[in-house]
Amino acid sequence: KVKAHHSVKPIMRIEPKYPIEAANDGVSGYVQLAYTIDERGHTNNIKVIDAKPKSTFEHNAITALRQWQYTPSNNPDEIHRVQLDFKINDNATSTPQQDQFERIDVSSH
């Protein structure tokens, strides 16, 4: 018998805070994160895969991701990926599209 693939779904997502210094300086960028989801729907094993510019948005992105809640996972070893795009305005240059990442826009408003 083949088991139906159980896909986790987001229940609650906290939007990262836009760093004040980056907003004041007009800096946009992104953070790509990998993480797992446990049997309780909590995010674990959060790792930064890439970030531009470096050392600007990572802390706020990780802080927010730690608070995200999902439906329980029956595969806690599965790696999930998300890209948080920090944009000062809608005209900010977009980063290259990468299909393996879920994309979420974070505004400075």
- Three-state SS annotation for the chain: CCCCCCCCCEEECCCCCCCHHHHHHCCCEEEEEEEEECCCCEEEEEEEEEEECCCCCHHHHHHHHHHCEECCCCCCCCCEEEEEEEECCCCCCCCCCCCCCEEEEEECC
The tens digit of pLDDT for each residue in 90-106 reads 655 555 555 678 888 88
pTM of the shown model? 0.81
Q: Does 81 have pLDDT greater than 90? A: yes
Give me the domains of the chain, ranges plus CATH numbers.
Answer: 10-107 (3.30.2420.10)
Read off the tokens for 68. 């995200």
Which residues lie across from 82 on neighbouring strands? Answer: 33, 102
Contact 48, 35 (CB under 8 A): no
Q: Kindly state the tokens that stand for 38.
A: 């446990």
Q: What is the pLDDT of residues 19-53, one digit of tens each?
A: 999 999 999 999 999 999 999 999 999 999 999 99
